[in-house]
Amino acid sequence: MDVLLSILTAYLLGSVSFSYVIAKKVKKIDIRQHGSGNAGATNTLRVLGKGPAILVLALDILKGIFAVFIAHFLETIDVLPTLFPAIATDGLAPALAGLAAILGHNWPIYYGFKGGKGVATTVGVIASLIFFPAIYIGIIAILLIIATRYVSLGSLVFAVFTPPLVWFTLDHYNHPEPYFYLALAVGILSVYQHRTNISRLWQGTESKIGEKKT
């Protein structure tokens, strides 16, 4: 079935941790044992510098985009909608594939299920499916990061405000309903993944971008 194949492919793709791979290549270290311990672009910036961090960010976004692209492709060659109408819901395969890619990044099968927080992959998935709402909230999040130097704060703003904007613009942009449920699910997941960051933000001890983690 196209949906199950999309989910499996997206999860395996999402499980490729580019921060882990690049850290191993550049410094022969496990990125999860340095800095904040997170396998993502922000910790790569702390540990390896700007160049590797930009590469990790781009690749993590691209794997989210590619997971959605694969799901869209499988939808176009679907031969089962008359037999399984329940799984042929418009937009369901890309939405579930996007979620699977994010889950793969967060809990990768290749690295003992210890990954990152999925922010960049989430951006890739959401921007692929819900471009304009993602751009609007993304611009606000980026400006907030620039102003405060808190990456986690921008990530949380993106996670919290994207779902309601998607809901209010579903008809305007003619997005399938599963896209809203995807935005809601990944928003809740992102808040959960950032629970320690929320605590540090509240206490004023959160690391700012450019600071070295001690």
Domain borders along the chain are: 2-203
Helix (H, G, I), strand (E, B), or coil: what is residue 70?
helix
pLDDT of residue 2: 67
Q: Which residues contact 15 (CB under 8 A, 6 or more apart)?
A: 104, 105, 108, 109, 110, 111, 115
Identify the band that residue 17 occupies on the pLDDT scale cut at 50, 70 and 90.
very high
pLDDT at residue 74 in the model: 79
Residue 50 has pLDDT above 50, yes or no: yes
Tokens standing for residue 156: 């949380």
The 10s digit of each residue's pLDDT in 62-119 is 999 999 999 888 777 654 454 445 455 678 889 999 999 999 999 999 999 999 999 9
pLDDT of 79 reads 47
**3-class secondary structure, 37:** coil
Q: What is the mean pLDDT of residues 189-204?
A: 95
Q: What is the pLDDT of residue 210?
A: 67
* Nearest-10 crossing angle of helices 119-129, 151-168: 20
pLDDT of residue 83: 43
